[in-house]
Amino acid sequence: MVSVGGRIDSRYAETKGIPKDDEYRGLVTPAGWAFAIWGIIFMGEIAFTIYQVACTPSEGEQMRWLEALSPWFTAACGFQALWCVAFREWARPVFWLPALMLSGIAAALGGAQAELSQAAVGMTWLQYGLVHAPLSIHFGWVSAAALVNWNSYAALLVHDGVISKPAQMAIASMSIAVAALAGIQVSLVRSDALYGLTIAWALMAVKADGKKQIEKISGSERNGMEDLAVSAQYGAYASVLASCYVVFSDPINSLLATQT
């Protein structure tokens, strides 16, 4: 995907990552290995699509939740298409636009995941694995990706002299806090451990990238990056703990007891 000509990140196909001095490099940037999660998401959503087509009319009657989530998932696909159009060099003067599109994907997938969470007790293991799991993971990853995109926009504003470095650091700190709180809140309120674990994956990738960047800088900027890396690490731990609580608490045990 990165090698597709025209996209902003096509310039990184040969550099194996975003160079430190690149104008689009935000302070919240995941390590390259984190993007392997797309393989899980794509394979899961291909299976989800096939499952919808293969459903019989009688099964459809029992799965009203599939009908309820469809508008949300369709909206997410629409925002994704718009992001692909906007994540290009022409959009540099309005780089808030691709960040907004990613936020739209996250909001739409959040709506789909809310429908699934309400219906989870009546799902079979197959339905949970083919529908709930890939959409929850996608929701978690895009939630983090939207924050990364907003931080890239902040990096451009610093590059253009619109905001200061301390302001950029504050935006990065708030982004990590928002990601961690989302991982905890969604996991606990919707009894969805997969969302929290996905957020934790993203935050650990941010920490890993931050550690690499720390080796290349010094002074107050180094101290700030060290603080961000530590915050991302503890945010990931908090999301994992919330997910573990969900897995071992009564609500999830009740859910598992209904699976067939």
pLDDT at 5: 53
Helix, strand or coil, per DSSP, at residue 88: strand
Q: What is the DSSP string of 186-236?
A: HHHHTT-HHHHHHHHHHHHHHHHHHHHHHTT--HHHHHHHHHHHHHHHHHH
Tell me whether residue 111 is in a domain: yes
Tell me whether residue 189 is in a domain: yes
pLDDT along the chain (260 residues), means of 10: 51 49 82 95 94 73 79 96 91 93 98 86 82 95 97 93 93 97 95 95 95 74 86 97 86 46
Torsion sign, CA atoms 153, 159, 162, 168: positive
For residue 137, what are the domain limits?
34-258
Number of domains comprising the chain: 1
* Token pair belonging to 99: 């960040």
Tell me whether residue 205 is in a domain: yes
Tell me whether residue 54 is in a domain: yes
Q: What is the DSSP letter of 129?
A: I
Tell me whether residue 18 is in a domain: no
Both ends of the chain: CA-CA distance in Å?
38
pLDDT at 62: 61
Tell me whether residue 49 is in a domain: yes
Tell me whether residue 4 is in a domain: no
pLDDT at 128: 86
pLDDT at 77: 95
pLDDT at 155: 93
**CA dist., res. 172 & res. 224, Å (int):** 10
Residue 242 CB neighbour total at 10 angstroms: 25
Helix, strand or coil, per DSSP, at residue 163: coil
**CA dist., res. 175 & res. 168, Å (int):** 11
Please list the helix, strand and coil fractions of the chain in percent, rounded to the nearest 5, in that order: 80, 0, 20
pLDDT at 13: 43
Tell me whether residue 25 is in a domain: no
Contact status, residue 172 vs residue 228, Cβ threshold 8 Å: yes
pLDDT at 8: 59
Q: What is the DSSP string of 52-63?
A: HHH--HHHHHH-
pLDDT at 21: 56
